[in-house]
Amino acid sequence: MTPATSSVSQPPLNTELPCTKEERRVELYNGNDVPTDPRFVNENTDLGTLNLNWREVDLPQKERTKHVHGLHPYLGKFIPQMVEVFLRKYFRAGQTVFDPFAGSGTTLIQSSELGIHSVGCDISAFNVLLANSKAKTYVMEEVEKDVYDILAKTRAISEPSLFESGSKTDPGEDTGNAYLQSWYAPQALRELLLYRNLIPNYRNQDILKIILSRSARSARLTTHFDLDFPKKPQTEPYYCCKHGRICTPVTTAFKFLQRYSRDTIKRIKQFSHCREDVDLRVIHGDSRFVNPGKIDGVITSPPYVGLIDYHEQHRYAYELLGLKDRSSDEIGPAFKGSSKAAKREYRQLISEVFINSLKYMPSGAPLIVIAGDRHSLYPTIAKTCNLEEVFVIKRHVNRRTGRRSGEFFESVFIWRK
């Protein structure tokens, strides 16, 4: 089924949410071309009137990565406003939504803004750490104290002169970790390891681990234009196509620790003003077998076949924090490719996840899946799971930067148990 193109009943989306610029509303209001404003969606909204083809001008990056959504880069995230549309349409405050592929926690964070309880599950320990860090309720004074104290201590003991005089506390000397030794300049690694070793002394350890990971991502010996999946360490100056000049690989990490400390505090504070008091849980596990408890429906974006290695994209965090690697349980990783056999296995495993999720939801409850289904695998998956199709919306995705540039379509499958 394809969406009908009947007239749009809600005001258009503004660049800033919430926003009252009437001129902008008028400019964007153009019949069916008006992108949906999530704030005006409710249970009575006709699915056929939804226009999810937001462009940068409709939904700027600042809004897509608002508050804790921008706590750490994550390739493969769906945009919070799209989740919001379906939460408003299908869920009520006090109900529980499940995301079996929780990733960076977008569904869970958006749900909490609307007073909806949520449970997430993910196979990647780093993603669970990230989602949990976003989800926690913090005592802000404590967080600020921890964040600035560890920063000050790291600065005090990471001065190169200390190590030149033969200090025994230099952690950069004996990591024994080939990945860390090859991807960081000596001073950057020293600073990261000092910070990491201090973390156990603090209460808000998860948030410190996220600041450390984000800094470690930026401090790698890599080019500015290939931060997602750099192939080999960049140790010499290089021509940077992002900045149009010769750039030099970074040698220290402290400036990132400093920058992301401030940014993290700002984002947590922003989120604390719009979250409701809800139950929010992230489980580290394989969604084929997890028990999320009683749920009222699912909203999720599964990994797609042969597209992304979800553990690998945060490899620096696994190496630094010693996180458990469960990449062999990842569904559809890039390293397995998209051969016929890979697609067959993918269909089977995704079906197992949905069949497991369906056990915990009432008959008639929604299962909403957002996927760039270029191999048309999802209609078969729906059949295997005995799901009733309610609607399918095609969405035009307009990407902007780096290796993520290029346009494509993704589908929103709305099914019912």
Contacts with ligand SAM by CB under 6 A lie at: 74, 76-78, 101, 103-104, 106, 121-124, 127, 286-288, 301-303, 310, 329-331
For the chain, give me the number of helices (H) and strands (E)? 14, 9
Q: Which residue, 35 or 103, has its beta carbon nearer to ligand SAM?
A: 103
Judged by beta carbon, residue 243 or residue 324, the one nearer ligand SAM is 324
Directed axis angle between helix 186-198 and helix 140-158, to 10°? Answer: 140
Q: How far apart are CA 267 and CA 180, in angstroms?
A: 29
The least CB distance from residue 241 to ligand SAM, in Å, is 27
For residues 89 and 190, which CB has a smaller minimum distance to ligand SAM in the complex?
Answer: 89
**Peptide bond connecting 18 to the previous residue in cis, omega within 30 degrees of 0:** yes
Q: Could you identify the residue written with the tokens 């201590």? A: 153
- Of 74 and 98, the one with the shorter C-beta distance to ligand SAM is 74
Residue 112 beta carbon to ligand SAM: minimum distance, rounded to whole angstroms: 14
Q: How far is the CB of 103 from ligand SAM (least distance, A)?
A: 3
Nearer to ligand SAM, 121 or 221 (CB): 121
Coil, helix or strand at residue 125:
helix
Q: Which is nearer to ligand SAM, 77 or 269 (CB)?
A: 77
Half-sphere exposure of 24 (CA within 13 A, CB side): 14
Q: What are phi and psi of 225, to 5 degrees?
A: -95, 0
Cα separation, 118 vs 392, in Å, equals 24
Minimum Å gap between C-beta 365 and ligand SAM is: 19
Closest approach of Cβ 117 to ligand SAM, in Å?
A: 18
* CA–CA distance, 138 with 371 (Å, rounded to integer): 33
Tokens of 368: 């909403």
When CB distances to ligand SAM are compared, the closest residue is 103
Alpha carbon separation from 177 to 182, 197, 219, 235 (Å, rounded): 9, 15, 16, 18
Neighbour tally for 235: CB within 10 Å:
10
**Gap between the Cα atoms of 87 and 94, Å rounded:** 12
> At its nearest, how many Å lie between ligand SAM and the CB of residue 318?
12
331 or 392: CB nearest ligand SAM:
331
* 103 or 297: CB nearest ligand SAM: 103
* Strand positions, DSSP E, 168-310: 238-240, 245-247, 280-284, 298-300
- How near is the Cβ of 266 to ligand SAM at its closest, in Å? 21
The minimum distance between CB 127 and ligand SAM, in angstroms, equals 5
Across 51-72, b (16+ Cβ under 10 Å) vs e yields bbbbeeebbeeebbbbbbbbbb
